[in-house]
A and B are shown apart, each in its own frame.
Chain A
Amino acid sequence: MEKLQKLGRMPVGLIIPAIAILFVIFGVPIVQLFLISVNAPSFSLVNYQAFFRQQENVFVLFQTIKMSVVATAICVIIGYPTAYLIVIASKPVRTGLIVFVFIPWLTSGLVRTYAWTVILGDHGLINNLLLDLRLISDPLPLLYNRLAVYIGMVHIMLPIMILPLLSVMQGIDQSLLAAARSMGARPFAAFWRVFLPLSLPGVRSGTLLVFVVSLGFFITPQALGGLRDAMLSNFIAVQVASSLNLAPIAAAAFILLAIAVFMLSLFGMDIYGTQDHRGRTVRKSWRSQLSSLGALPRYLNEIAIPYRARHWAAQLYQAGSGSSWSKIAGAVFVLLVMIYLLFPELIVIIMSFSAGPFLEFPPSGFSLQWYRSLFGDPSWIRAFWDSFQIGVTVTILSTIAGTLAAAGLARTSPRPRTFLMMVILTPITFPAIVVGVAAYLGLVNLGLIGTKTGIVLAHSIGSIAYVVVIVAATLANFDQRLEHAAKSMRAGPVRTFMRVTLPLIRPGIIGGAVFAFIASFDEMVVTSLVSGFSIRTLPLKMFENINQQIDPTIAAVGSLLTLMPVLWLVALYVTWWRSRLRLQDAPVNSVA
């Protein structure tokens, strides 16, 4: 016990729960798979050579990287301003927007992908509208090409980008911006010099997550893309479906992992960045070092600073300060992003009331048959309940293990940290199907195939990775001197964590937990392998008829799942509204 406590105090000790789960479920089989890929015990690189000898593999590998980079870049460009605008919005608006960002995730990817074909198709909504307006004479090829793949990918990935950004931005002290403005910084300068650097850990963490998850995509490019728009995971999934030879599959998966490691090291994957709270010496920007070409504007700028500082102070006490144009532009931008995120959802909801036996839009008639079939079939309810239980357990397990690991990594030196981070990220970097095979082998050793415990553990390895990355981002701005201060005042490590660290990194933990739950609730590929055909989670139930047709009941399920957070939101607004009314009714002098 004493040993354990000592271990707990060491930074590495905190990482152990996460690594232990990873090692048992995933580590042993991954080593097995690696040995298979190098043809152990004779050891040869023949599988890797065979991979590279086929030019199409190399081509698709580069295409996979390119598509992931582009999708990630689009996510940053759209996600960053969205997250920023959400954070600076008033609390009721902010809560609503955050919920809206996550609603698309509650609908099965299958129906959402179909919704995109409804929107982008040759006879889809956009083309029909343009044809009706006589802006075009022939339908535009919006579907079955690269553009459609990006639209679908970014739609799925944008919440993954926004979440870590929100977690970090919410932790940024807004008074720092006020301080900058009070010293005469322009709004943009205050943002550029103060807010942006502080939000960078969120950018890094979101970029990393989106990039590695994008590498493993295969359903979206297959459904929305053209013939050429294949990604490496398409090739790998085909191999798993049609061959019993694990060696080439394993080799391809390790090549993908190597690419991820290489790309991440290229962009610097240390989410924590260089933690330095000692105060930096004022560095001259590269621009001022160039020459004195820009001297005049700078000089004028210097003169204007005191004026701006005074102006800002005056503005502060004026109601409705700030330019209305930028506010309108911001609102329009957020509105457009929300339409992009939620419009397919709307299509799904409309299709769920369709009278026909297939997914159709516009529906040929109105009917509640899919809701009746949903509630009339106890297996849907059971599947929902199983998924919910598994999701909650995964969330608890991975939030605890992941938060501890993130805290431990923060105290580790950069080199081992980068290595450990990559180890923790492996389950989300590998194509899901390979993770499934590995988790299957790991759980077979433990006799846990076909048990909920097994599914929970298999889901947790991925969820832990999400939690670690998101919590790590909030920890990057965390000033460790606060902990030292607490300890110097004789607070124990547990107390310090509960009273100082935890409240400060709470947005990250909540973000990580939400993610852990959704990732588990949505997981299908790994589950189908480790469920041993005895547990049917909700996503498995949704896919059980895919050989024949997409059951519109799935649209009804998606609509109901969407309804839950919306109802919660309405309830929240009603309580806020009520408490405001009460405040207004209360005698004036009692208002604090």
Chain B
Amino acid sequence: MNHFLNRRRFMQATSSAIAAGALSSTASHVLAQSSGELRLNMSAGNFGEAVMSAFVKPFEAETGIKVTPVYQDIRAAQVGLMVKTNNVTIDTVLLGQANALLLAENDQLEKIDYSIHGQRDLDAIAGFCKHSFGFGSYIYSSNMVYNTKKFPANKPRPSHWAEFWDVENFPGVRALPSGQYGYPGSFEEALLADGVAANALYPIDIDRAFASLEKIKPNVRKWWTSGAEILQIMRDGVADIALSYDGRALALIDQGAPIEINRNQARLTCDYYVIPKGSPNAHNAQRYIAFTGRADRQAAFAQLFAQSPSNRNAFELISEKVARKLATYPDYMTSSFTVDGEWYAKTGSDGLANSQRLIQRWNAWIVR
């Protein structure tokens, strides 16, 4: 009995039996240790294609480093597991602000080495995009988006969030992002609708935000949970007016869909490139991140995929026509506000991060 349950022996026998069959197994960490490599996370589709041609291909040509794209939606806990078990198989991960900062607070990320960034580029990068543990190479926004069949430009339509909340004067089907992940949600917009000034949003008054959400709750047809979902909701005309990422709306507009973006009170944010602690090619990752800060590369990216450069110098290289599509186009900036990712990741005296607090509150709120 005893020798039968000997774990290692059993495993050796089974795994070699399987390997000897149809499968050839290659341990990834062996591959990842070669010096001229970089395993880089990104989303696939048009986004991935734009990243490849604006950043990855020129980077490979310039440095000789071989980049392997990893197309996957990676969760914070997954990075945490890799770091904790000392088995990091990826060098650069693209994460939303709150998740990236959560990992940073838990000491699971490498510090970004800003000494290798060009000074002229670094000076032009938006402040919230150059965090000590994460770097944002593009900025995007969440906006009010109209279906122009229901809300044509020549008729009165909601122009700011208080009017979005005003269902009596502006009847129509609404869609908002779910707050189930704590970040992102519709908390800032709820506060704006309730009369909070854009520069006084943080720290978020959670009670007030939920009281405001309560008012709009009966009129929201769907609380969406992914970019793919809100895109389909707008395409299929499920909602007449919605809070959506600008990128998804622009993709529809380019296809001739009856959609229009309202840039007033837009919420600006970025995704962070982070380097998990113990990444096998951390140095290459640092070089890649510095590369994505360059104005010329960001300009090239913005022309392929409508996400705004975090380096304002890039606008000098972008045509006016393209620039008007971008979230940080100077005219829009005055009426936009920036997400405070730090607030979401900040841990209170009870050990809970603010994003966690929002999740708990959200769960309690939806079942009420």
Contact = CB atoms under 8 A, between A and B. Distances in A.
A56 to B, nearest CB: 4
A526 to B, nearest CB: 12
A57 B81 CA distance: 25
25 contacts: A54-B363, A55-B364, A60-B367, A63-B367, A117-B232, A121-B238, A144-B221, A227-B220, A240-B77, A242-B75, A393-B22, A393-B23, A440-B81, A440-B85, A448-B15, A451-B25, A452-B24, A453-B15, A457-B15, A533-B89, A544-B45, A546-B227, A546-B228, A547-B227, A549-B231
A244 B77 contact: yes
A471 B231 CA distance: 44
Nearest to B1: A7
Interface in A42-83: 54-57, 59-60, 63
Interface string A544-579: 111111110000000000000000000000000000
Given A117-B236, A451-B26, A393 B21 contact: yes
Interface residues of B, number: 84
Contacts of A536: 71
A544 B232 contact: no
Contact of A548 (B43, B85, B90): B43
Contacts of A246: 77
Contacts of B25: 448, 451-454
Nearest to A551: B45
B232 A550 contact: yes
Interface string A1-23: 00010010000000010001101
B359 interface: yes
A448 B353 CA distance: 33
Interface string B263-302: 0000000000000000000000000000000000000000
A241 interface: yes
Contact of B72 (A23, A456, A540): A540
B28 interface: yes
Contact of A242 (B27, B238, B356): B356
Interface of A: 4, 7, 16, 20-21, 23-24, 54-57, 59-60, 63, 114, 117-118, 121-123, 144, 222-223, 227-228, 230, 234-235, 238-244, 246, 356-360, 389-390, 392-393, 397, 437, 440-441, 444, 446-454, 456-457, 528-529, 532-534, 536, 540-541, 543-551
A450 B27 contact: yes
Contacts of A444: 85, 87
Q: Could you say which of B23, B221, B355 has the most chain A C-beta atoms within 10 Å of its C-beta?
A: B23
B4 A360 contact: no
Interface stretch (B96-104, B313-321, B330-338): B96-104
Contact of B238 (A122, A223, A397, A447): A122
Nearest to B94: A547
A242 B80 CA distance: 11
B33 to A, nearest CB: 13
Nearest to A21: B14
Interface in B55-86: 70-73, 75-78, 80-81, 85
Given A63-B367, A222-B225, A242-B181, 19 more contacts: A23-B7, A56-B367, A117-B236, A121-B238, A235-B363, A242-B98, A357-B251, A358-B232, A360-B236, A390-B23, A393-B18, A534-B28, A545-B228, A547-B73, A547-B226, A548-B44, A548-B247, A549-B45, A549-B228
A114 B228 CA distance: 11
Interface of B: 1, 4-5, 7, 10-11, 14-15, 18-19, 21-29, 31, 39, 41, 43-48, 70-73, 75-78, 80-81, 85, 87, 89-90, 98-99, 102-103, 106, 108, 173, 178, 180-183, 217, 220-223, 225-229, 231-232, 235-238, 247-248, 251-252, 255, 353, 355-356, 359-360, 363-364, 366-367
B361 to A, nearest CB: 9
Contacts of A7: 1, 4
Contacts of B227: 546-549
Nearest to A447: B27
A529 B80 CA distance: 12
Nearest to A533: B70
A529 B81 contact: yes
Contacts of A242: 75-77, 98-99, 102, 181-183, 355-356, 359
Secondary structure at chain A's binding surface: helix, strand, loop or mixed? helix
A38 to B, nearest CB: 18
B137 to A, nearest CB: 16
3 residue pairs, one from A and one from B, having the closest CB atoms: A450-B28, A544-B71, A545-B45
A451 B28 CA distance: 7
B89 A456 contact: no
A389 B15 CA distance: 15
A447 B21 CA distance: 19
B228 A547 contact: yes
A230 B367 contact: yes
Contact of B363 (A56, A533, A544, A549): A56
A529 B19 CA distance: 21
Contacts of B7: 23-24
B45 A450 contact: no
A16 B14 CA distance: 13
B8 to A, nearest CB: 8
Given A123-B237, A244-B102, A534-B89, A453 B28 contact: no
A194 to B, nearest CB: 43
A240 B367 contact: no
Contacts of B99: 241-242
Nearest to A219: B225
Given A389-B22, A549-B248, A544 B229 contact: no
B77 A243 contact: yes
